[in-house]
Amino acid sequence: PTWKITVLRDGEAVESVETSENSLVFLLPEGDYKVVVESSGSKWSKEVSLDRDTIIEVGKAPVLRLSVKDQFGNPVQVTVVVDGRKFEVKGSTTLELEQGEHLLQIYWNKVLVARKYVRVREEGVVEDIVVEFANLKVRTLDSEGDPLQGCVVAVYWSGNILFAEATGASGEVEFKLPKQRYKTLVNCRGESKEYEVNLREDTIIEHLQEKPLSKWILLSIIAVIASAILLVVFLILKRKLS
């Protein structure tokens, strides 16, 4: 393979060569240096304080060994973002990274379940992430208390929609979600209602769809109100004329 080797001091390159040799010798003044080796899309680095003839071996990057499981030890499918780079991970992975501090973000669906800085050293680092889940059940009922079919239940996290599902014959839908805060929007027969949920344990939301007033009942109410207004006006006028 071809290697690109760069020697840096105070962030400035003092040597940069490309070679297919397995070893190189640099004559350098004493001081602190960083040696960066690149080959076939991989990159390794090592820091050295030079005060005598020194041999360093570079070729294997430090690694981040990452494990993501639920509270029962089952592997979890997540998207891992390290310094802006995305990796799809199911359960565990090993990532080659440069030494130093890296921002680690872990998403389940669109939900941020972990965010932390990890310091990767030459010997590598191990991170075990546990994502705790709970069940959110939404039960839709009509005014008689019977299951209501065809209601659409949407679940949001931080403004992002995660799921939208219609209730079946049971009038229920259920979602397995990380323990977080969610907004749930229930739409039944053109009417919507919003529920805020702080999911810390298995939770049930009961949505009761009120029976709409019939056309004749509504007209009767309007007629009664109108009659009352006319009666008040009549009494006021009668008092003024007497």
Burial of 45-81, coded b for 16+ CB within 10 Å and e otherwise, reads bbebebeeeeeeeeeebbbbebebeeeeeeebebebb
pLDDT reported for residue 167: 95
pLDDT reported for residue 134: 98
Q: What's the CATH architecture for 63-131?
A: Sandwich (2.60)
Domains 63-131 and 133-208 share a fold: yes
pLDDT reported for residue 212: 58
Each domain of the chain, given as residue ranges in start order, spans 3-50, 63-131, 133-208
**Strands (DSSP E) along 97-190, which ranges?**
100-108, 111-120, 125-131, 133-141, 152-157, 160-166, 172-178, 181-188
d(CA 89, CA 77): 6
d(CA 145, CA 60): 65
pLDDT reported for residue 218: 58
The CATH class, in words, for 133-208 is: mainly beta
Compute mean pLDDT per 10 residues along the chain, 242 residues long, and list them: 87 91 88 87 81 79 88 96 92 85 95 94 86 97 90 96 96 97 94 95 92 59 74 70 66
pLDDT reported for residue 95: 87
